[in-house]
């Protein structure tokens, strides 16, 4: 199993291009099932998760062709004919979001059998909301031996659905199913994340009729078919925020390009309060910090968008480990999402966790130690801490990192970080 080694103490200076958003790309990929015409996605990230989903789409008969185009990395999807509507556990378990193929398969063909998901261990995250919404659209659903079998032989039918709480996955999943349903569907208490806006706009370019983009009420008037399109994936706000935290932690000056800083304003507001300089540019943002000046502790509480993203909580906690004072971090989105705290403590961080609250008392220095990634966002928080830890920090289980960060060592290394990958066989890259 690969690991990453980081020698702390080097400032970061340079430029980091932000990749396309993983959380948008994988939903756009699922949406390509909805049309028999080609869909070209540009600004595509090349990640373990997008590879897993590409493999699953091929299982359904979708042609998936990766290439480098004039606008960078792109992938062409062509679901001319759906030859299978079975999504086996071996593929779905590798990534929770692949469960979201159920709705598009059902909408396109009238039937599907999809494994219940595996994925990150950050709380229960049941799929009940997804299945309830599909039932409301007229699907008949059965659970059997870890699989969901769904049929709608006469097609799906529009309905009014109010989610009991805001769910990104359920909003996206229901949206994709509803665009081919007969009649009108209204989704209330819909999530408003930028990735949902990206999906709505892409589906609209494919011929879907959707009103209320970027609001918590989406009205979908069903159409009989969708067409192909070319669509550029929005920048990854979590990657952008992670590198912003890395630059602030290490000190120096990093220019993030191909980025939209307005997508992480909740984070940058807290970073500015902590003493980081944030300067917007024409195509991104400059993050600057004088390492001679210690950051100040600030509190955060995770919220649904546009609040502070739960997917940036671990990175911000790493940033606070060496800040002056005590910061209180409230996790309001997912239970069990402080698993990085004990690993940060191995580097010398002073963190106490009680239920959904973590108190971080800043220390002057962190010291290198072997640590273990527990999930995708936790793994990058350990990288951020490793940038300042005295000595060489080794991070194990970095397959988590490869699910969501493209060429991380290359991007940080180009800014001066002493970071390298150690392959399972002991060779360095």
Let me know if 245 is a catalytic residue.
no
Question: Alpha-carbon torsion 191, 31, 73, 86, what sign?
Answer: positive
**Do residues 363 and 318 make contact, with C-beta atoms less than 8 angstroms apart?**
no
Does 125 count as an annotated binding residue? yes
Does 375 count as an annotated binding residue? no
DSSP for residue 308: B
Does 129 count as an annotated binding residue? yes
Tokens 């066989």 found at: 425
C-alpha angle 349/376/203, rounded to 5°? Answer: 140
Distance between CA atoms of residues 204 and 208, nearest Å? 5
Does 311 count as an annotated binding residue? yes
Does 128 count as an annotated binding residue? yes
Question: What phi and psi values does residue 11 have, to the nearest 5 degrees?
Answer: -70, 155
Does 23 count as an annotated binding residue? yes
Does 304 count as an annotated binding residue? no
Does 27 count as an annotated binding residue? no
Distance from chain centroid for Cα 149: 27
Distance between CA atoms of residues 323 and 362, nearest Å? 5
DSSP for residue 21: P
Q: Which of 120, 202, 245, 415 is catalytic?
A: 120
Distance between CA atoms of residues 226 and 230, nearest Å? 13
Residues 6+ apart with CB under 8 A from 93: 115, 117, 118, 119
What Å distances lie between residue 365 and 131, 287, 291, 294, 385, CA to CA? Answer: 48, 22, 12, 11, 10
User: How are strands ordered across the β-sheet holding 86-87?
Assistant: 86-87, 111-115, 147-151, 140-144
- Binding site residues for phosphoenolpyruvate, as ranges? 22-23
Residues with active-site annotation: 120
- Binding site residues for UDP-N-acetyl-alpha-D-glucosamine, as ranges? 96, 125-129, 311, 333
- Binding site residues, as ranges? 22-23, 96, 125-129, 311, 333
């Amino acid at each position: 199993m690969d690991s990453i080694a980081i020698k702390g103490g080097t400032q970061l200076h340079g430029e980091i291009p932000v990749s396309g958003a993983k959380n948008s790309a994988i939903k756009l990929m699922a949406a390509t099932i909805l049309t028999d015409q080609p869909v070209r996605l540009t600004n595509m990230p090349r990640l373990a998760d997008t590879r897993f989903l590409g493999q699953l789409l091929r299982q359904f008969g979708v042609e998936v062709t990766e290439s480098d185009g004039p606008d960078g990395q792109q992938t062409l999807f062509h679901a001319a004919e759906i030859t299978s509507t079975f999504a086996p556990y071996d593929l779905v378990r590798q990534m929770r979001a692949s469960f979201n193929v159920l709705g598009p398969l059902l909408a396109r063909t009238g039937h599907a059998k999809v494994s219940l998901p595996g994925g990150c261990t950050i709380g229960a995250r049941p799929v009940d909301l997804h299945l309830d919404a599909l039932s409301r659209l007229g699907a008949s659903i059965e659970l059997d031996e870890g699989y969901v079998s769904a049929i709608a032989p006469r097609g799906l039918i529009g309905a009014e659905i109010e989610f009991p709480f805001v769910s990104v996955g359920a909003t996206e999943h229901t949206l994709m199913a509803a665009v081919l349903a007969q009649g009108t569907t209204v989704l209330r208490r819909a999530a408003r994340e930028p990735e949902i806006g990206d999906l709505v706009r892409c589906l609209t370019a494919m011929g879907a009729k959707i009103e209320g983009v970027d609001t918590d009420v989406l009205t979908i008037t069903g159409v009989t078919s969708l067409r192909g399109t070319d669509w550029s994936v929005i920048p990854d706000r979590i990657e952008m925020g992670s590198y912003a935290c890395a630059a602030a932690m290490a000190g120096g000056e990093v220019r993030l390009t191909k980025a939209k800083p307005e997508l992480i304003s909740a984070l940058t507001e807290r970073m500015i309060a902590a003493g980081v300089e944030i300067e917007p540019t024409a195509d991104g943002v400059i993050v600057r910090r004088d390492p001679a000046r210690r950051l100040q502790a600030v509190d955060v509480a995770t919220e649904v968008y546009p609040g502070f993203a739960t997917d940036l909580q671990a990175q911000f906690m790493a940033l606070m480990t060496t800040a002056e004072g005590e910061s209180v971090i409230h996790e309001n989105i997912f239970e069990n999402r402080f698993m990085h705290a004990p690993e940060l403590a191995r580097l010398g961080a002073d963190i106490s966790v009680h239920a959904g609250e973590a108190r971080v008392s800043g220390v002057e220095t962190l010291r290198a130690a072997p640590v273990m990634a527990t999930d995708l966002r936790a793994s990058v928080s350990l990288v951020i801490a490793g940038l300042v830890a005295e000595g060489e920090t080794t991070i194990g289980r970095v397959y988590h990192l490869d699910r969501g960060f493209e060429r991380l060592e290359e991007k940080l290394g180009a800014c001066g970080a002493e970071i390298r990958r150690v392959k399972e066989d002991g060779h360095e890259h």
